[in-house]
A and B are shown apart, each in its own frame.
Chain A
């Protein structure tokens, strides 16, 4: 089952397309990370999946084909928006009561005990809680609904390191205990490798890359060799990003480990952060389709190859 499936999805605000030609299929049972700079379209994609806004083009279904925003979808998806919106003048207990009344399923006991563990007083107004506590309260409300998919839009922006760790630990435990699938957006790359096993890289409203992390890492290599030969090999190889010094050049290429390395060159595996950064530095580079194993030349926006080829 795909928890989020989009086909040609786009959303336009006035004259600008915040998201366009988005085609992804996020499988269940994963932690999918949406990564990209501000304005890349991550929030737009999540809003569309949550049913908060309607598409301008294409369509999106969730939880195995349910239309986004339909009653089944709303029932199975818990969404925590950026800045964890909350009714500031309601107490934590009121927020629990509210959420219980608005949903079919609500685990009151879990919610209360979790808040107790976190040290969040039930009587205090939500507006008087710290940023971290509000985020934890929002997460508690979401998890207590026992969703099948948890969608988090930059949930940890306001959190200090310990709060981030606790937040993420709670999310991961929900996945371990209940099999909740997670889709979260982030622009902090460093934590991704520990947490994400499905990656969607976005830039300027388009999806650059989407796939299981293991497959993505297995299909990319970093080649290090003489700068003088870099251009020549760039013709034959699918280069994502090149960086070069006077004598030495690094080419991040799309290639699997069993493909031959040009003589005089060294091949290293690539880490997730390095891979993400390379693609984000080349925003016009788009990896075609969800199949990653086949070797195809990279297609950029206006038909040009990436910078290394020049």
Chain B
């Protein structure tokens, strides 16, 4: 039985140099340029809308400040109501919280899930470049691009929400938020970019595990929501030990975490006073004062109770710690994203599919 002899191949080298990384640059670009375009268009349109809405907000704010130079001037109440009502649906930021998970899930989840679902991985993973390097060369550039786009967009968000952080707002009963407000904290600073990054990383990992695009998107959104809630409720409050003060003039920009009262050095109660105390010392009820977000301010209570030996204590995070919190949160989100991407690449390398 004669068999064809295998001809010698001229470029045979024993130590195989891997295909250079930059070749994947074109591959990633060509395959995902449409997706990236969609993201840019999406954010661009939002930015334009945000700019128009911001113009309204700024002029309402300026009008209110001007009208309320003297507190009793007639146009002042109207101007206050006008400002507080402008773009009310955007005010607390919760709607915009949806952007990072949407971007992350719709870009990250299909990345690997589509290849696995349509079978194109049987082409992509049998090329000389190698499956795990291919995955890494897609995930990292896309992650960086998305985070950058999100970061740039968040500058617009930051600009939009400035009117809510002016210190004078509190005194004028204009809506004022603490920078730590859950709906707003991660729209600004590096939070928006970091959350977009982690959403992308979650999407990519979930897509690799689930291997079907639509379920992967859904699962990524659920996982992100879980992480975001857990962070907001439990993780973020614990980044730094809160400051404690007995002053009643806690600035409106501070993030009040808890309040309690002591009498004679011993703990009396926290939050609202019990009924009997309330009836005893504040028979007509405290002067009602409404703080930011509609929370009743406890300044009024102090007027009744302080003369009787009660001291109010407030644990809070000052607004000046905003950036410290941003770095902490951004830092661990970055580490988590790196870990998720590394796990994704490792899964591909193991090729357990």
A interface with B by C-beta (< 8 Å): 1, 27-30, 47, 50-54, 69, 71-72, 74-75, 77-79, 81, 83, 85-87, 90, 94, 97-99, 101-105, 138, 145-146, 148, 175-176, 178-179, 181, 197, 212, 214
Contacts and interface: CB of A to CB of B under 8 A. Distances in A.
B6 A85 contact: no
A68 B249 CA distance: 71
Given A74-B128, A102-B129, A69 B122 contact: no
B306 to A, nearest CB: 70
B14 to A, nearest CB: 9
A103 B19 contact: yes
B18 A179 contact: no
A155 B122 CA distance: 13
Given A51-B351, A87-B120, A178-B7, 4 more contacts: A27-B3, A29-B3, A69-B351, A81-B126
Contacts of A77: 126
Given A75-B16, A101-B24, A102-B27, A50 B126 contact: yes
Given A97-B26, A176-B4, A54 B126 contact: no
A179 to B, nearest CB: 4
Interface string B105-126: 0000000000000111111111
Interface in B113-150: 118-131, 134
A310 B121 CA distance: 49
Contacts of A97: 26, 30
Given A53-B353, A71-B130, A98 B30 contact: yes
Contact of B119 (A69, A81, A178): A81
Interface of B: 1, 3-7, 9, 11, 16-19, 23-24, 26-27, 30-31, 118-131, 134, 350-353
A81 B126 CA distance: 10
A103 B127 contact: yes
A85 B118 contact: yes
Contacts of A212: 1
Contacts of A138: 123
Contact of B7 (A47, A98, A105, A179): A179
A105 B129 CA distance: 11
Contacts of A85: 118-123
Contacts of A87: 31, 120, 123
A127 B78 CA distance: 62
B122 A52 contact: yes
B122 A179 contact: no
Given A54-B351, A103-B128, A81 B18 contact: no
